[in-house]
A and B are shown apart, each in its own frame.
Chain A
Amino acid sequence: MCRRPDERGQALIEFALGLPLLIAAALLGLAVIDAATTQEAVETGARRGSLTLAASNVDVQAVAAANDTSWLRGQRLAAGFVPSDTALRCLGTPVTLTIGANGHLGFLLPFQRTWSATVTTVIEQEGPQRDRCAAAGP
């Protein structure tokens, strides 16, 4: 069936207007999936980091363990420790670990957001601080 020239023009305009909307919706959909997966990943990463922290008492090792989460690989992680390992942390010291990431496709969202998770753990092995803890006494 042949279309009249004005119908072909109408279809072209619809396509020209619709394509950017379609692409924007698709990118937004991908970004939302990425955001949800990143939130799940930072929670997993924070739990994994807290396990390592409890057994090592070393912040860098905890961040490396958190970064071992698949979806977080290649992302820049923001990690916070309260207190950090520059302070004295002995057996039983509670430490709060916060892991944050922006997601692989965070730049596609209309707002900047860091997806983060916080876990509190307790030091079970004093690790490199053993001598300092022994000197500090009970």
Chain B
Amino acid sequence: MTALAAVMLVAIAIFGAGAARLAFQDVERLEVEEASLEAAGAAAIRAGALIVGGASDFDVTAAMRDEANAVSAANITRGTWQAANATRTSSSDVLILVEVTVTVHYEGLAGPLDLSATRRAQVRRPPGP
């Protein structure tokens, strides 16, 4: 009976640890998705403002990357952020479309886990006269 009780306790513990691991992984995946969305939005707004202000192409790209790095790192659990890659395009009706890919590495109960998420944000061109 004691052995049976011990086996059941171990089974419950394994199930509990597995469930907690999955839950942590989901939360962390969501965290990366939200951070990349926040970073894309912030980078698009910053770059859009610079473009409207007449900044050079080089300055716009540098500011966009800085913003994407800073915002994504600020929205990710400390110590897990690896990189943020931001690229931009534009079209006839979109002033700037920013695509940000955030890469993170988690350790702990959920890890080791490498995650990345890509999100886009855009600023439309103001309506013409």
Chain A residues engaging chain B, CB cutoff 8 angstroms: 14-15, 18-19, 22-23, 25-26, 29-30, 33-34, 36-37, 40-41, 44, 47-48, 51, 69-71
Within the complex, the shortest CB–CB distance from A136 to chain B, in Å, comes to 18
B87 in the interface (beta carbon within 8 A)? no
Interface size on B, residues (CB 8 A): 19
Q: A44-B27, A44-B30 are in contact. List 19 more A-B contacts (CB 8 A).
A: A14-B1, A15-B1, A19-B1, A22-B4, A30-B15, A33-B12, A33-B16, A34-B19, A36-B19, A37-B20, A37-B22, A37-B23, A44-B23, A47-B30, A48-B33, A51-B37, A69-B26, A70-B22, A71-B19
Interface SS of chain B: helix
Smallest Cβ-Cβ distance to A36: which chain B residue: B19
B8 in the interface (beta carbon within 8 A)? yes
Chain B residues engaging chain A, CB cutoff 8 angstroms: 1, 4-5, 8, 11-12, 15-16, 19-20, 22-23, 25-27, 30, 33-34, 37
